[in-house]
Chain A
Amino acid sequence: MTALLTLPAAGEFEMADINYVAIAPMIVVFAAAVLGVLVEAFAPRRLRYPIQVGLAVLALVIAFAALVLPDADSVTGTTVAGTLAVDGPSRFLSGVLLALGLVGLLVMAERFGGEGPDAFTPMGAATPGSAIESAAARAGLATTEVFPLALFSLGGMMMFTSANDLLSMFVALEVLSLPLYILTGLARRRRLLSQEAALKYFLLGAFSSAFFLFGAGLIYGYAGSIRIPAIGEAAAASSGDLEPLLLPGVAMLLVGLLFKVGAVPFHSWTPDVYQGAPSPVTGFMAACTKIAAFGALLRLVYVGLESTRWEWRPGVVVIAALTMIVGAVLSVTQTDIKRLLAYSSVAHAGFILVGLLAFDITAVGGVMFYLVAYGASTIAAFALVNMVRENGAEATHLSQWAGLGRRHPWVAAAMTLLLLAFAGIPLTSGFTAKVAAFMPAVAHGGLSGVLLVVIGVLASAVTAFVYVKVIVLMYFTAPSGDVGLAQPALLSVVAIAVGVVLTVLLGVVPGPLLDLAAQSSTFVR
């Protein structure tokens, strides 16, 4: 045995250099997720929930510590044979993902004091409405698998922001997506809607993954490498022979990524999935997936495709414009708060794209700031949606929100603040974020950048109309029905408080985070 073990590693095989310190946060999150699966297998039923929550929280805290404690210089660089890049953007976004992921997990862990009414079905495998399902509910079963699933997804997201070659990017994409598909289908109420959403999300997600993979293949053919920096170098040094491969490849890669951020015309899953998924999952998904996907998109286009941007940028400019317009206009007609927030997230994706297309280092910081601001507000908003109930079920129809300001002033006040932030009213994070994203577009985006900003401005006026309508509904319309709050909701309140405080703080004193984002906007190549 020893003979086998001491076999030399000499010869053609070259060991990958792995900077364990640099990837420690990811390792911690994945390890905790695997441990979580074992907990599901072996821990007694009653203990699973506390163990899972404790494990997940602990893992995220440790991962965050592992992320911020090491000296930046010692971890910056590519690692694992160049497949992962640990640099300013990836560390910044990983930190944001961990922090917002923690908030999202708190909302998922919300049980409103009892054993029953958490957001997740007691038994995912039971047919909706069947005897088995009600038996499971009576027995007080719970789907505590959501915690390891969320951790897997979060790990995938962190990897997505760091992925430095197309293959690891694809793997990360799948690792982050598959748990989300499952989480989407686990709603306690309106399970058929939830399962339909999960299936749609899965099918369309698989479709877009296939696009990504095909694009990666074509780009490999073009550049002779799947490393993103190598693609950039190949494109810069290109003689033009393989040019026909480039554009289809880039287009397909972008389809895969734009699907994840929910850009028009790849947005059609967004409203259905946001509505069908349990609200805590929706919040987590809306905030964290967007962060991860834009992180990957930033790296791909700024490192790999920047030198060829004149060939593909016009197409994405059109997509950004469409995304803003369609998201804003369709949000006007929505009658369901979750669908409304879904279309608003589409519009926000468009705003972020405007910043991204500026192709300047200040745009990287602006986009990252936007992601933080939007993510924090979104998680809190969906946590609020999760609390507002009628007869135990979520009251998501807008008419059920009428008069909320009179019955539950604090909830309405928090929601108002968040909606104003989405609208981009000054002194909220939304305003600072819009300025941060639009400023580089005006400065460096050329004519199309200015045009996009004009469209963005018009679109934000439309979305502001939508949000203000909801606010008026909450304050100036007489309440109807029997809408109340699920209580006590300690964890939700903590999560909402974090979101609200961040929303105000990033609006009033955005300086520190803007600076941090600006300092962390250099990609390693």
Chain B
Amino acid sequence: MLSLIVFLPLAVAVVVAAVPSLGAAAARWAWVAVSAVELVLVGVLWAGYEDPGPNGLAFEEQVPWIPGVGSSYHVGVDGLSLPLVAMTAVVFLACAVYALRDGERPRAQTALFLFLQGVSLGVFVAADLIVFFVFFDLSIVGMYFVIAGWGHGNAARSALKFFLYTFLGSLALLLGFIGLYVASDPHTFDILELVAATPLEDNPLAGGLVLAAILVGLAVKTPTVPFHTWLPPAHTDAPATGSAVLAGVLLKMGTYGFVRIAMPILPEAWRGWAWVIVVVGIVSVLYGAFVALAQTNLKRMIAYTSVNHMGYIILALGAVGLIAGDTAQARSVAVTGAVVQMVSHGLITAALFLLAGVMRTRAGTYDMGAYGGLATPAPRFAALFAIAAFASLGLPGLSGFIAEFQIFAGSIAVAPVTAIALPGILITAALFLLALQRVFTGPTQGQSPGFADLHGRELWSVGPLLALSLLIGVLPQVLLGVIEPASAALVDLVGR
């Protein structure tokens, strides 16, 4: 089942790439069809999901791959990964619908995005470090070509920057994985076995170094301050669908790596480094918010809010490592909040980037100063953008609130000092309101007159993303019911 979900898009990608006679429309619709099938498959997965218990996986599949080095093709989902798998399927379907009328090289674009979808899902279901790394690295390669091939502005340069940063990060990650492998006895790359064995527990120095390597690798991808500098240019110059996937899905690989690999396998080192991680989280939150506030380019602004939002996740996960008294419940809430934030941020930021893409196709600029009073010619656009902005700034009733509330409720209970990051929420609120005011209100001027409103495919790509965000905000139990047992299990693992 999981293998089908991972390899169906990859297989179709190969077919699409290998059949030159495939027309543009056929390629586009093939993409939509495959993404839809994927979503259905994930839905089936969700319906059949039962919590596998601590350090267990549902829908587990294991096939020997490289037995010589203790690596197998091992996949499975649990409460931490299933929501991300679902979110990935949704975001990719939205992108497929959005791209239905894009002009450039449709066949190659379809193949590339299907490839990206396959490897992204692969990262989230991987239960073996090598499998994880393989998909992790391939996602970088795929995204590189998306930015370089379909981007605008200084795309080649931004793509290269993205590639160099994240590839280097992935190599650091590989170094950490090799460290884990070498330290484990018997040598293995299997995540579940490593979690059970917790190698390096008796060796704080080596454990710290391995964790540092893994942290750097994941932090580059997440990204956190100070490894975030690749993100703004990459987003600014990437195509809308590329940005949506990059922010919505690829960034989650970093944070997901924390909860899947770094925390349960190296609990000792994680606890030792927890304060560093908390501080990095706080700095990311505040720095991302302040820099976003200063942006005039809408897409750059959204990109910096990603740094801010990812900072919340880091903050929560760092707080989980601060073992103090009887706070297990609070720490579990923080983990749940972090996972909800991953899902929520994926949906909302993908929507925001797709909407920004609409601005570019219509008027050719992301500069907020070039617009004004856009709500008059484009009411639907304005409405959707406003919903997305409110969701992003954490308005109750939308998914961002559920996530950030839980993150802070959990973190502050463990470490009151994390309240320093609270102004981050205020600043994000301010900057989104400012942006809304600059672009949508006032007299219709600049690029705004004649701005065609959203039409079918754009509406149908962005709308469902926000509807899901609303659904999570109103009925969080659907999601929380899946995540909470896994969060509790993770907290236990870190507390070992």
Contacts of B95 in A (CB 8 A): none
Distance in angstroms between the alpha carbons of A510 and B66 in the assembled complex: 6
Contacts of A515 in B (CB 8 A): 67-68
Per a CB cutoff under 8 Å, which of B64, B144, B171 touches A461? B171
Per a CB cutoff under 8 Å, which of B65, B145, B159, B172 touches A509? B65
Q: Does B167 contact A (CB under 8 A)?
A: yes
Q: Does B92 contact A (CB under 8 A)?
A: no
Query: Nearest B residue to A426 by beta-carbon distance?
Result: B134
Contacts of A432 in B (CB 8 A): 66
B158 CB to closest chain A CB, in angstroms? 12
Q: Are B182 and A468 in contact (CB under 8 A)?
A: no
Q: Are B167 and A442 in contact (CB under 8 A)?
A: no
Contacts of A446 in B (CB 8 A): none
Of B173-181, B266-274, B317-325, the stretch lying at the interface with chain A is B173-181
Distance in angstroms between the alpha carbons of A443 and B133 in the assembled complex: 19
Contacts of B163 in A (CB 8 A): 464-465, 468
Q: Can you list 23 pairs linking A and B with CB atoms under 8 Å apart?
A: A409-B20, A425-B141, A426-B137, A426-B138, A427-B134, A435-B178, A439-B178, A439-B181, A439-B182, A461-B164, A461-B171, A464-B163, A464-B164, A465-B163, A472-B159, A476-B149, A509-B65, A510-B66, A511-B66, A511-B67, A514-B66, A514-B68, A515-B68
CB 8 Å contact bits of A403-438 with B (1 = contact, 0 = none):
000000100000000001000011100011001101
Distance in angstroms between the alpha carbons of A425 and B65 in the assembled complex: 18
Query: Nearest B residue to A424 by beta-carbon distance?
Result: B171
Distance in angstroms between the alpha carbons of A263 and B133 in the assembled complex: 30
Q: Are B68 and A511 in contact (CB under 8 A)?
A: yes
Q: Are B156 and A443 in contact (CB under 8 A)?
A: no
Q: Are A442 and B148 in contact (CB under 8 A)?
A: no
Q: Does A57 contact B (CB under 8 A)?
A: no
A interface residues, how many (CB within 8 angstroms) = 32
A 493-520 contacts with B by CB, 8 A: 509-511, 514-515, 518
Contacts of B67 in A (CB 8 A): 511, 515
Q: Are A472 and B134 in contact (CB under 8 A)?
A: no
Q: Does A137 contact B (CB under 8 A)?
A: no
Known: A464-B167, A511-B65. A431 touches B178 (CB 8 A): no
A311 CB to closest chain B CB, in angstroms? 26
Contacts of B156 in A (CB 8 A): 472, 476
Known: A511-B67, A514-B66, A518-B68. A425 touches B174 (CB 8 A): no
Q: A427-B134, A439-B182 are in contact. List 9 more A-B contacts (CB 8 A).
A: A426-B138, A432-B66, A435-B178, A436-B69, A442-B178, A457-B172, A457-B174, A510-B66, A514-B66
Q: Does B24 contact A (CB under 8 A)?
A: no
Q: Are B179 and A426 in contact (CB under 8 A)?
A: no
Contacts of B37 in A (CB 8 A): none
Query: Nearest B residue to A462 by beta-carbon distance?
Result: B164
Per a CB cutoff under 8 Å, which of B130, B160, B168, B179 touches A468? B160
Distance in angstroms between the alpha carbons of A454 and B217 in the assembled complex: 13
A277 CB to closest chain B CB, in angstroms? 31
B156 CB to closest chain A CB, in angstroms? 6
Contacts of A458 in B (CB 8 A): 168, 171
Sorting the interface of chain B by its residue count into under 10, 10 to 19, 20 to 34 or 35 or more gives 20 to 34
A 81-95 contacts with B by CB, 8 A: none
A514 CB to closest chain B CB, in angstroms? 4
Most buried by A among B69, B175, B181: B69
CB 8 Å contact bits of B78-114 with A (1 = contact, 0 = none):
0000000000000000000000000000000000000
Distance in angstroms between the alpha carbons of A111 and B145 in the assembled complex: 36
Q: Are A425 and B137 in contact (CB under 8 A)?
A: yes
Distance in angstroms between the alpha carbons of A510 and B69 in the assembled complex: 10
A309 CB to closest chain B CB, in angstroms? 20
Q: Are A427 and B138 in contact (CB under 8 A)?
A: yes
A275 CB to closest chain B CB, in angstroms? 26
Q: Are B175 and A453 in contact (CB under 8 A)?
A: yes
Distance in angstroms between the alpha carbons of A443 and B70 in the assembled complex: 15
B392 CB to closest chain A CB, in angstroms? 33
Q: Are A457 and B175 in contact (CB under 8 A)?
A: yes
B344 CB to closest chain A CB, in angstroms? 30
Q: Are A454 and B175 in contact (CB under 8 A)?
A: yes
Distance in angstroms between the alpha carbons of A458 and B145 in the assembled complex: 22
B 103-149 contacts with A by CB, 8 A: 130, 133-135, 137-138, 141, 144-145, 148-149
CB 8 Å contact bits of A453-483 with B (1 = contact, 0 = none):
1100110110011001100100110000000
Per a CB cutoff under 8 Å, which of A453, A472, A509, A514 touches B148? A472
Q: Are B144 and A468 in contact (CB under 8 A)?
A: yes
Contacts of A464 in B (CB 8 A): 163-164, 167
CB 8 Å contact bits of B149-173 with A (1 = contact, 0 = none):
1000000100110011001100110
Q: Are A461 and B168 in contact (CB under 8 A)?
A: yes
Known: A426-B133, A511-B68, A514-B68. A475 touches B149 (CB 8 A): yes
Q: Are B182 and A443 in contact (CB under 8 A)?
A: yes
Q: Are B174 and A442 in contact (CB under 8 A)?
A: no
Distance in angstroms between the alpha carbons of A457 and B137 in the assembled complex: 14
The 7 closest A-B pairs by CB, nearest first: A426-B134, A457-B171, A443-B182, A461-B168, A514-B68, A511-B66, A426-B137
CB 8 Å contact bits of B37-72 with A (1 = contact, 0 = none):
000000000000000000000000000111111000
Contacts of A438 in B (CB 8 A): 175, 178
Distance in angstroms between the alpha carbons of A443 and B148 in the assembled complex: 38
Q: Are A465 and B66 in contact (CB under 8 A)?
A: no
Contacts of A472 in B (CB 8 A): 148, 156, 159
